[in-house]
Amino acid sequence: MVIKMEIEDIFLNYVDLGKKDEKPIVLLHGWGQNIEMMMPIARNFMNSNRVIVIDLPGFGKSSEPTYDYKLSDYIRIIETFLKEINVTNPILIGHSFGGKLSLLFASNHEVDKLVLLASPFKKEIKELSLKVKVLKKLKEVPILKNLESFAKKHIGSTDYKNASDVMRKILVNHINQDITEDVKEIKCPALLIWGDNDKAVPIKDAYELESLMNDAAVIVYPNCTHYAYLEDLGKTISVINSFIKE
């Protein structure tokens, strides 16, 4: 069921699926994307878990912030949202920007497990590929090709060039915030899924992130990109399923 909740200065759009009494899984999408890019994972856990997927503020059907959010503002919104829907100690799954938020959230909140999909954490991260490059890659991968019509509208639609003034400022805040020290505070187990051809957040960052965390492991997808989790979706579902059942 798609629902909207008013929190502070925004309306937050989200879906709340699956078994409400089971372990909650919360999925956070990447920059310039929305709920739909996380649904290929979400659908596979509806029979075993409660599954919540959020349109982060400024994306999808959630409203834009009225001022230039820092990452701490996103964390506060997520924290308030989870309290409102009675979710504690969730499994967090985040791609790219959503992964960075997942890392930051887990550094000072109770989180059961983390699944990080090409998640940046350092200041020197690169912006995502331009829309045309992403769409070209989508056509090469069967499961991504099915999302092409969505991607034409949503991937890259809020890149710096096309974003509103407030979202441009938020993107700059995101890129410039290094959370290396925060990452060191994470205590929960973490699974890091990465493509070895990721140009946005290179594979070397995955191993550096692993070394900073108390209990983390990298799973490398050969010949895959920043969207490795979708490029080999079957493998992604399998490894996540094994990880959360450990």
Q: What is the DSSP string of 153-201?
A: HHTTTTSTTTS-HHHHHHHHHHHH---HHHHTT--S-EEEEEETT-SSS
Cβ–Cβ < 8 Å for 192, 4? no
Residue 186: the pLDDT is 97
What gap in Å lies between CA 220 and CA 195, rounded to an integer?
A: 6
Greater pLDDT, 106 or 200: 106
Residue 34: the pLDDT is 93
Query: 39-81: per-residue pLDDT in tens?
Result: 999 999 999 999 999 999 999 999 999 999 999 999 999 999 9
Query: 132-141: per-residue pLDDT in tens?
Result: 445 455 555 5
Residue 15's closest CA among 23, 102, 25? 25
Number of domains the chain contains: 1
Q: Which residues pair with residue 43 across a beta bridge?
A: none
* Beta strand residue intervals within 8-130, DSSP E: 10-18, 24-28, 50-55, 91-95, 113-117
- The β-bridge relationship of strands 24-28 and 50-55 is parallel
- The β-bridge relationship of strands 190-195 and 216-221 is parallel
Cβ–Cβ < 8 Å for 202, 230? no
Phi first, then psi: give them for residue 123, nearest 5 degrees: -65, -35
The rounded percent of the chain whose pLDDT value lies above 90 is 74
Least confident of 9-23, 31-45, 149-163: 149-163
What gap in Å lies between CA 33 and CA 38, rounded to an integer?
A: 9
What gap in Å lies between CA 146 and CA 155, rounded to an integer?
A: 14
Domain harbouring 84, CATH code: 3.40.50.1820
> What is the reported pTM?
0.86
Cβ–Cβ < 8 Å for 34, 59? yes
Query: 210-242: per-residue pLDDT in tens?
Result: 999 999 999 999 999 999 999 999 999 999 999
Sign of the CA dihedral running 9, 152, 50, 74 = negative
SS3 for 63?
Answer: coil
Is 18 a residue whose pLDDT tops 50? yes
Which residue range forms the structural domain that includes residue 146?
Answer: 2-245
